[in-house]
């Protein structure tokens, strides 16, 4: 069977770093096996779901390069849920309940007060058809629970957590449908996973208890459960679930000059024992992706690390990838000369301005000004080539006896107006002969 994974966000907000990581890991898991990565929009909650978030999710995935091999949305699949629900109803696997939230809360408190686990007592199972008729006559509509089979063991071999076992009798029968007929997350998700041929469900460990109930939903629907894996949750660098993480999304990352390649390189390895490698693209990361390398400890997301990875990524980006983001006239040689000095692509414009000028004329000691006058004369007599910086500094070293900082710094200051910057050997040919002579003379 083709490995098929899915990313199933609820469009009730923008994707944040944690969601992005889940999406990426599902993409990697699918691609690693030559399989399919599906996007499922979990929009059964009509009130909280918004179309702008659906568009945002698609745009964010596109920016990251995580292109889904197919998309479904739950709001278009109610007929399927209805049909499967009828099957479960006919088989006696869903039942009608009428307790209010307050009543349920009270029951829970009583149990907890007695030191017992707050499990739903199945009181509604005892209602007769007459009781139901009376409720209906009184205008009371039921909500529905899935009847867990207390005799069916719940176990799976979790791709990350290892062997998992739950006792159905220690769990409440989950509510799957509200009194107004709307669906809660659990049942539609299992129905979709079956219908969409999902072979691997990879999601956060906050879903482990849902999985325990869903395992029985799969079997009740006549399907073999998919493989499950639950990742440790993402925490901030300080080790706690931070507010910042919950809001940090693609929009802010882009605003901060973070490239998708950096997000991918970092998040692909976050939570695993594998080192982050800025040289690896998504395809290479997929090739080496394995759930076996995931740990159970919370995965720490450090924004400072993302910035470091981003700089390393920018230093490797080929011209063709960035050409449209660069100032007019800035070509491949300039990009290659300048990129080692960048943290963000946006800073290229600043350095390009250093190439094209004008640059600040430095204030220097007389001695350095005399040296720069010699430099201008020397440069004027040199043949202009790609090697001109070496030729110039070699000749000046010989003529003046200067070396190291005394040789290079005045030249850099005069030619660029700055103390630091890209390799002068690459920069000088870009500045050009006339501008270089003019800058040396102006500083002398």
Output the known binding site.
Answer: 243
Beta carbons within 10 angstroms of residue 102's beta carbon: 8
- Binding residues for ATP are 243
Among 5, 49, 172, 189, contact with ligand GLU (rule: CB under 6 A): 189
d(CA 296, CA 378): 65
Q: Residue for token digits 């925490």?
A: 235
Site string for ligand GLU, 205-234 (x = CB under 6 A): --x---------------------------
Beta carbons within 10 angstroms of residue 57's beta carbon: 23
When asked if residue 10 is in the footprint of ligand GLU (CB under 6 A), the reply is yes
Please report, as residue ranges, which positions from 249 to 288 form the binding site for ligand GLU (by CB under 6 A): none
Shortest distance, position 236 Cβ to ligand GLU, whole Å: 20
d(CA 27, CA 85): 30
Q: What are the distances in angstroms from CA 389 to CA 313, 332, 337, 339?
A: 28, 19, 14, 19
Shortest distance, position 8 Cβ to ligand GLU, whole Å: 4
Beta carbons within 10 angstroms of residue 90's beta carbon: 9
Nearer to ligand GLU, 207 or 254 (CB): 207
Please report, as residue ranges, which positions from 31 to 60 form the binding site for ligand GLU (by CB under 6 A): 42
Nearer to ligand GLU, 9 or 278 (CB): 9
Give the total of residues touching ligand GLU (CB under 6 A).
Answer: 8
Shortest distance, position 229 Cβ to ligand GLU, whole Å: 11
Nearer to ligand GLU, 45 or 347 (CB): 45
Shortest distance, position 362 Cβ to ligand GLU, whole Å: 57
Q: Which stretch binds ligand GLU (CB under 6 A): 2-10, 290-298, 319-327, 409-417?
A: 2-10
Angle of CA points 162, 166, 169, to nearest 5°: 180
Q: Which stretch binds ligand GLU (CB under 6 A): 5-13, 45-53, 326-334, 344-352?
A: 5-13
Collapse the DSSP code of 185 into the 3-class scheme (helix H, G, I; strand E, B; otherwise coil) and give the result: coil
When asked if residue 203 is in the footprint of ligand GLU (CB under 6 A), the reply is yes
Nearer to ligand GLU, 73 or 300 (CB): 73
d(CA 439, CA 413): 9
Q: How many residues does the chain have?
A: 444
Q: What are the distances in angstroms from CA 247 to CA 16, 162, 310, 414?
A: 6, 31, 20, 46
Q: Which stretch binds ligand GLU (CB under 6 A): 3-11, 256-264, 342-350, 404-412?
A: 3-11
Shortest distance, position 7 Cβ to ligand GLU, whole Å: 7
Q: Which stretch binds ligand GLU (CB under 6 A): 8-16, 46-54, 218-226, 393-401?
A: 8-16
Shortest distance, position 6 Cβ to ligand GLU, whole Å: 7
Burial string for 144-160 (b: 16+ CB within 10 Å, else e) reads bbbbbeeeeebebebbb
Backbone angles phi, psi at 376, to 5 degrees: -60, -45
Angle between helices 424-431 and 404-416 (to 10 degrees): 30
d(CA 411, CA 359): 13
Collapse the DSSP code of 101 into the 3-class scheme (helix H, G, I; strand E, B; otherwise coil) and give the result: helix
Residues at the site binding ligand GLU, with contacts judged by CB under 6 A: 8-10, 42, 185, 189, 203, 207
């Amino acid at each position: 069977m083709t490995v098929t994974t899915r990313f199933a966000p609820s469009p009730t907000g923008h994707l944040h770093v944690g969601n992005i990581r889940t999406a990426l890991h599902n993409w990697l898991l699918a691609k690693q096996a030559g399989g399919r990565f599906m996007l499922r929009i979990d929009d059964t909650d009509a009130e909280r779901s918004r179309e702008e978030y659906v568009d945002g999710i698609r745009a964010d995935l596109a920016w990251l390069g995580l292109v889904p091999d197919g998309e479904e949305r739950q709001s278009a699949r109610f007929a399927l849920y209805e049909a499967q629900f009828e099957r479960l109803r006919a088989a006696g696997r869903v039942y009608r309940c009428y307790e209010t939230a307050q009543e349920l809360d009270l029951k829970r408190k009583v149990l907890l007060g007695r030191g017992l686990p707050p499990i739903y007592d199945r009181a509604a199972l005892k209602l007769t058809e007459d009781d139901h008729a009376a409720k209906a006559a009184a205008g009371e509509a039921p909500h529905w629970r899935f009847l867990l089979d207390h005799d069916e063991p719940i176990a799976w071999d979790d791709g990350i957590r290892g062997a998992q076992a739950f006792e159905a009798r220690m769990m409440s029968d989950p509510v799957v449908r509200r009194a107004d007929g709307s669906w809660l997350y659990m049942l539609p998700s299992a129905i979709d996973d079956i219908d969409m041929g999902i072979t691997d469900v990879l999601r956060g460990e906050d879903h482990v208890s849902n999985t325990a109930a869903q395992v029985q939903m799969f079997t009740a629907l006549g399907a073999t459960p998919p493989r499950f894996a639950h990742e440790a949750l993402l925490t901030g660098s300080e080790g706690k679930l931070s507010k910042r993480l919950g809001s940090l999304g693609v929009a802010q990352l882009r605003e901060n000059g973070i490239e998708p390649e950096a997000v991918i390189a970092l998040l692909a390895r976050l939570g695993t024992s594998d080192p982050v490698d800025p040289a690896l693209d998504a395809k290479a990361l997929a090739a080496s992706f394995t759930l076996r390398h995931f740990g159970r400890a919370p995965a720490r997301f450090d924004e400072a690390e993302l910035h470091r990875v981003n700089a390393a990524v920018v230093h490797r980006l080929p011209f063709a990838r960035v050409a449209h983001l660069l100032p007019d006239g800035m070509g491949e040689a300039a990009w290659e000369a300048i990129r080692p000095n960048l943290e963000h692509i946006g800073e290229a414009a600043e350095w390009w301005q250093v190439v094209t000028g004008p640059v600040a004329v430095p204030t220097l000691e007389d001695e350095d000004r005399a040296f720069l006058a010699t430099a201008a004369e020397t440069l004027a007599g040199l043949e202009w080539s790609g090697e001109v910086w070496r030729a110039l500094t070699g000749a000046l070293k010989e003529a003046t006896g200067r070396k190291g900082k005394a040789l290079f710094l005045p030249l850099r200051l005069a030619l660029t107006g700055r103390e630091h910057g890209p390799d002068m050997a690459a920069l000088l040919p870009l500045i050009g002969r006339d501008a270089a002579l003019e800058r040396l003379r102006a500083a002398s």
